[in-house]
Amino acid sequence: MENFIFQNPTKLIFGKGMIAQLAKEIPAGKRVMVTFGGGSVKKNGVYDQVKKALAGFEVTEFWGIESNPKVETLREAIRLGKEKNIDFLLAVGGGSVIDGTKLISAGLLYEGDAWELVRKGMCTETVPLAAVLTIPATGSEMNNGAVISRKETAEKFAFYSNNPVFSILDPTVTFSLPKWQVACGIADTFVHVMEQYMTAPGQSRLMDRWAEGILLSLIEIAPEIVEKQDNYERMADFMLCATMGLNHFIGMGVREDWATHLIGHELTALHGLTHGATLTIVMPGLWRTLKEKKMAKLVQYGERVWGITAGTDGQRADEAIARTEAFFRSLGLPTRLADAQIGDDTIREIERRFNERNAAFGEDRDVTGTVARRILENCK
Amino acid sequence: MENFIFQNPTKLIFGKGMIAQLAKEIPAGKRVMVTFGGGSVKKNGVYDQVKKALAGFEVTEFWGIESNPKVETLREAIRLGKEKNIDFLLAVGGGSVIDGTKLISAGLLYEGDAWELVRKGMCTETVPLAAVLTIPATGSEMNNGAVISRKETAEKFAFYSNNPVFSILDPTVTFSLPKWQVACGIADTFVHVMEQYMTAPGQSRLMDRWAEGILLSLIEIAPEIVEKQDNYERMADFMLCATMGLNHFIGMGVREDWATHLIGHELTALHGLTHGATLTIVMPGLWRTLKEKKMAKLVQYGERVWGITAGTDGQRADEAIARTEAFFRSLGLPTRLADAQIGDDTIREIERRFNERNAAFGEDRDVTGTVARRILENCK
């Protein structure tokens, strides 16, 4: 086990009807800006619940944080927030709204342009931020990470600030989500876990078990959700899995990969492909490419998660990869570049970008531009 | 899944050599009281590391917090701390030292007698407290609970205050622990998990998996530790399991039992029996008594943790209980009252105490004095 420091101060407020707790959690007298994506919260009742809970506060609304939130949009929110002297932010939405609001929380206290913050990669001088989550997927509600895009250059980078001080998760808000979004959320969670798990075995018995626990839960839940999306217990299980998949609870003392995400970000930046779909395409290809190195963990994963116990290690690893790909397909998600009409030009461009940045990703820092090209060729 | 609120702000600083981080974590200028148990920290090098790290601080030492910490001792520490205007506490020891220091942290800001705080059950107005853990067992390093005893009345009660602001866990400090203490630590962790797990199935798939993950890890680790206690990876796994066993990470949205602990506390209060040993005696007896109610979860536990798949549910539950008892015995711990020379007088006294307090423990609040007697008779 590697030495580590773990701290996650976010207060998680979970369950039916919990949005009403908002008023108790925000300090009295705060000038609150509430940030939203599109209009779905007006249809599913979340907007009304939030408005009601915030009746005692001076509230400014900012609408229109898009998926893969763009700095161009967030600059507008920062301008408005500064004008209104906002000193508390409440993100109401999915990971994109929360991610975008993390940049706003830093931008409100920063003189320069928000993209400078993104390129610095980190800023912890922020206005306090809380969240009402509407889409289980990214874990942003209980971590300090965000991913921000820039339209004019088709770029997408990670940015780190502070955790939300609290996040409210009411599983009933997921009942009306589009099926595609639920599928992407399941896949996103699955791959978050894998980025922390699929490296080498024997680093931490407990973290392995906890990661496998999320994977097993998702595999059980997924077909049930496809069948029926308004079962409270099921959606609560899913929502809890998504948050626990990326809040560092399964990452203590273990090395992490994240090359799938970093390659996937480029596919989104260049093609606008949904984040979850980029992951289901890249991860199996990455495993095929780095199979020898990840063999022991692929075998452990195959046995504990899929019950694969027959064959040579190589055969068991292949079977584990195939089962994973089949799982993603059962969710209706693409697993090959061709499914998303992405061809060789994109592969070459990603190799070029990674080389230009001297990229060295993955748990051993060996995923360079050249290796990324090989991975993407294995995603064809 | 039940609605829940989860927050655990403790900063966990984990690994070899991490005690040196102390100086960075305590705010400059603090008047620190360091609390200790007996002298073992002088033999294993922890005392020297702490002294060295705190060289820049004004430090008061308080020695002699015993196992099952007594209010009589803690009153002395509070008196000394008030005299020295202590505004930061550092507990260096196992669960007893940390528990005791939690009461000190509240007592320093309280005018009355410390036992009043214990009987109130909760006080969150405290001096900040941190810990250097030397015995993995109680989880006190990452939760807000403590258990305090009173010698003159042979009583033992739970008390809640604030989490440590940070806790330092260096697995190498466990290499020289007495074997009996390690065995009790493993059992204590095992039962902490069970108090949160062994109720009814289907409350949370993920929490079930995470609880089972700790149990599976402990069962793997225990015989290896008995064999060889100075393997870093193994002791790191154990130390992480112990902390994660009682920091609410596996208790989100599920009902909890705790009747084993509450009965066990009486055995300690009346006979001075080590906490871990009270648990290994009471838990199997509690399961034998409440088998029908806990049947479905006992079967799930037997299958997922011990691989028991044959027989009727009743047979599988019996087998799971027997395997658990054998596991405790393999650690050299007692599993019957007779092992600790405890007889019918004690059973009657515990029934009397529970009846006097109108006790109603367990996940369904149905463990009354009468039920506690039946449980203890099943521990003979």
Shortest Cα distance, chain A CAs vs residue B242, angstroms: 11
Residue at token pair 């996650």 = A8
A141 pLDDT higher than 90: yes
Token readout for A365 is: 């820092």
Q: Specify the pLDDT at position B26.
A: 97
A127 pLDDT higher than 90: yes
The set of residues, in sequence order, having a beta carbon less than 8 Å from that of A154 and lying 6+ positions away, is: A269, A270
Could you tell me the pLDDT band of residue A226, with boundaries at 50, 70 and 90?
Answer: confident
The percent of residues above 70 in pLDDT, for chain A, comes to 100
**CA-nearest residue of chain B to A15?**
B3
Beta strands in chain A (DSSP E): 4-14, 31-36, 58-62, 88-93, 129-133, 145-150, 155-160, 166-169
Token readout for A5 is: 């420091």
Distance from C-alpha of A319 to C-alpha of A126, rounded to nearest angstrom: 46
Shortest Cα distance, chain B CAs vs residue A251, angstroms: 12
Shortest Cα distance, chain A CAs vs residue B5, angstroms: 5
Kindly determine whether residue A17 and residue B1, on different chains, have CB atoms separated by under 8 Å.
no
State the alpha helices, DSSP H only, in B331-368: 344-356
Shortest Cα distance, chain B CAs vs residue A218, angstroms: 9
| Residues in B touching A209 (Cβ below 8 Å) | 209-210, 212-214, 216-217
| Residues in B touching A204 (Cβ below 8 Å) | 236-237, 240
> Nearest CA to A375 among A358, A356, A362, A364?
A362
pLDDT tens sequence for chain B (380 residues)? 999 999 999 999 999 999 999 989 999 999 999 999 998 999 999 999 999 999 999 999 999 999 999 999 999 999 999 999 999 999 999 999 999 999 999 999 999 999 999 999 999 999 999 999 999 999 999 999 999 999 999 898 999 999 999 999 999 999 999 999 999 999 999 999 999 999 999 999 999 999 999 999 999 999 999 889 999 999 999 999 999 999 999 999 999 999 999 999 999 999 989 889 999 999 999 999 999 999 999 999 999 999 999 999 999 999 999 999 999 999 999 999 999 999 999 999 999 999 999 999 999 999 999 999 999 999 99
Kindly determine whether residue B253 and residue A14, on different chains, have CB atoms separated by under 8 Å.
yes
Task: Flag whether the ipTM exceeds 0.90.
Answer: yes
**CA-nearest residue of chain A to B142?**
A7
Q: Specify the pLDDT at position A239.
A: 98
Q: Which of B3, B210, B217 sits opposite A205 (nearest CB)?
A: B217
| Residues in A touching B14 (Cβ below 8 Å) | 1, 3-6, 252-253
Residues of B with CB under 8 A from a CB of A: 1-18, 202, 204-206, 209-210, 212-214, 216-217, 220-221, 233, 236-237, 240-241, 244, 249, 252-253
Condensed to tens digits (0 to 9), the pLDDT of residues A165-177 reads 999 999 999 999 9
Token readout for B246 is: 């009682």
Distance from C-alpha of A259 to C-alpha of A11, rounded to nearest angstrom: 30
Q: Specify the pLDDT at position A128.
A: 98
B85, exposed or middle or buried, with CB in 10 Å at 0-12, 13-18, 19+? exposed
Kindly determine whether residue A253 and residue B236, on different chains, have CB atoms separated by under 8 Å.
yes
- Any idea what the Cα angle at residue A213 is, between residues B16 and A193, rounded to 5°? 70
Q: Which of A15, A204, A217 sits opposite B209 (nearest CB)?
A: A217
Residue at token pair 């976010």 = A10
Segment holding B24, helix H or strand E = helix B22-25
Kindly determine whether residue A17 and residue B3, on different chains, have CB atoms separated by under 8 Å.
yes
Residue at token pair 């989550």 = A133
The percent of residues above 90 in pLDDT, for chain A, comes to 96
Q: Specify the pLDDT at position A227.
A: 84
Bridge-based pairing state of the strands A166-169 and A4-14: parallel
Distance from C-alpha of B128 to C-alpha of B90, rounded to nearest angstrom: 9
Long-range contacts of A103-112 (CB under 8 A, 24+ apart): A103/A69, A103/A71, A103/A74, A103/A146, A103/A148, A103/A159, A103/A161, A104/A33, A104/A35, A104/A74, A104/A77, A104/A78, A105/A129, A105/A161, A105/A162, A106/A161, A107/A74, A107/A75, A107/A77, A107/A78, A107/A81, A108/A78, A108/A81, A108/A82
A1 pLDDT higher than 90: yes
* Residue A341 Rama label (left phi>0; alpha psi -120 to 50; beta): left
- Cβ pairs A/B, distance under 8 A: 121
Segment holding A172, helix H or strand E = none
* Crossing angle of helices A232-245 and A179-197, rounded to 10°: 40
A105-135: b (≥16 Cβ within 10 Å) or e: bbbbebeeebbebbeeeebeebbbbbbbbbb
B220-244: b (≥16 Cβ within 10 Å) or e: ebbeebeeebebebbbbbbbbbbbb
- Any idea what the Cα angle at residue A130 is, between residues A35 and A115, rounded to 5°? 60
Mean pLDDT to the nearest integer, A127-140: 97
**CA-nearest residue of chain B to A8?**
B9
Shortest Cα distance, chain B CAs vs residue A243, angstroms: 11
Q: Which of A202, A240, A249 sits opposite B204 (nearest CB)?
A: A240
Distance from C-alpha of A106 to C-alpha of A261, rounded to nearest angstrom: 24
First vs last C-alpha separation in chain A = 36
Kindly determine whether residue B210 and residue A212, on different chains, have CB atoms separated by under 8 Å.
no
Q: Which of B18, B205, B244 sits opposite A237 (nearest CB)?
A: B205
First vs last C-alpha separation in chain B = 36
| Residues in B touching A216 (Cβ below 8 Å) | 205, 209
Q: Specify the pLDDT at position B223.
A: 94
Give the up-direction half-sphere exposure of residue B36: CA atoms within 13 A in the CB hemisphere: 16
> Nearest CA to A296 among A273, A323, A269, A314?
A314
Q: Which of B3, B13, B213 sits opposite A209 (nearest CB)?
A: B213
Q: Specify the pLDDT at position A339.
A: 94
Q: Which of B5, B9, B13 sits opposite A12 (nearest CB)?
A: B5
Q: Specify the pLDDT at position A154.
A: 87
Q: Specify the pLDDT at position A274.
A: 87
Residue at token pair 């007088």 = B345
